[in-house]
A and B are shown apart, each in its own frame.
Chain A
């Protein structure tokens, strides 16, 4: 059974966004990290890069495969989780505490197109 947190917004491609004011913290869900297996590298954008809802902004790599990261929202990257450079496995141990990028949201209403916890739970069949 995957951990799904209330209050977050979820994308079909298994990223979440946690909104705090004008900012969103984007990471991958517990379901996604489990499906990927041992994460060995997280390819992150640079601060000040623009991300667009529905477009890739990096990748999470397990031993076996690279998986694109699709941004659930649009905005400007204000921070990347530097800890993942040295310890990418943090994404496995707690994917919600270990978000990947923090963005300044350009259109906060975009989250309305995403799933809530209940809908995401149904989407992954749990």
Chain B
């Protein structure tokens, strides 16, 4: 099956981007290089085409009740404009997807899901919506989305795009009437830096891209550095740290699963918490610069005790680090473990899975 293209595909080709398939789309991996794109976001401002992300609109009298039933975080009584991170879980506690829920207003919720899971998620949401007075609409094709990220983003978005955003607190959003359409802007992102995400029509998304890129102050950034950036601050990627077989608790995301309310998978998570975890995702820092990568085995005491979920030579710190799912008895900080990389075994120690401090504006 041919991959889909986002509304910004022609821009990527014109910029000479390296294109690779991701989540069913042909996406830009890098333009000039992962390292300088990564550094641009840490130090100044970068723009990402994230139009591949899926958007689902839930409306209707029971929309809050319904979303709270399929979502691990608790959105009950939230103010308009509030955004929540959380997961949808199977009854087993495994994760269908991780997502953002935007409370636009009392009976209107905007769900942002992973590109690779759009079909699965929409089917899941539709199936469970049957018993509720809600309308579910897959709006993924309608919206383009860019993420503008980095410490200079707020000033740049206000000055170059003329969009007032400094009033937005972390994890809040608002709708703005702009050139005959309603766009959504939120103070969110996936880099550990301050920044905004803008959801709009394909035409408006192209205008935003052009204005920011042509200013010379905002660097086009590909999915390559999106992954190195999110990894350094310990953010999970569905497919690596989260899967249908990994629970939020095992991924270290228990704070986003509110066990004091009811949702699909809640009982399984409560039972897992009561019994105690058998495995958990932690960080590992290697002594050498060899790079632990997804799927590599982690060893200790002469046996395999886990597997790497994501690993890099951290661009911001220069250290070779990874997140890994380990048997619980090896997850204490400073535990000595080793990662098998090709023919050799490289020693390291268990660390926190945040390798670089977030720089959010809260």
Contact = CB atoms under 8 A, between A and B. Distances in A.
Contacts of B293: 65-66
Interface string A47-67: 000000000000101111110
Tell me the dominant secondary structure on chain B's binding face: mixed
A43 interface: yes
A82 B206 CA distance: 48
Contact of A64 (B34, B290, B342): B34
A43 B290 contact: yes
B320 A38 contact: no
Contacts of B320: 41
B291 interface: yes
Given A43-B290, A63-B313, A64-B29, A38 B342 contact: no
B342 A41 contact: no
B341 interface: yes
B287 interface: no
Interface residues of A, number: 14
B261 interface: no
* A41, A64, A85, most chain B CB atoms within 10 A: A64
Given A41-B320, A64-B224, A59 B342 contact: yes
Contacts of A105: none
Contact of B291 (A37, A38, A41, A85): A41
B36 to A, nearest CB: 9
Contacts, number: 39
Given A41-B290, A41-B291, A63 B228 contact: yes
Interface residues of B, number: 18
Interface in B205-234: 224, 228
Contact of B35 (A38, A41, A88): A38
Given A43-B290, A59-B342, A61-B290, 17 more contacts: A38-B34, A38-B35, A40-B289, A40-B291, A40-B313, A41-B290, A43-B341, A43-B342, A43-B344, A63-B35, A63-B224, A63-B228, A63-B315, A64-B34, A66-B342, A85-B289, A88-B289
30 contacts: A37-B30, A37-B33, A37-B34, A38-B33, A38-B34, A38-B35, A40-B289, A40-B291, A40-B313, A41-B289, A41-B290, A41-B291, A41-B320, A43-B290, A43-B341, A61-B291, A61-B313, A62-B34, A63-B34, A63-B35, A63-B224, A63-B228, A63-B312, A63-B313, A63-B315, A64-B29, A65-B293, A66-B291, A66-B293, A88-B289
Interface of A: 37-38, 40-41, 43, 59, 61-66, 85, 88
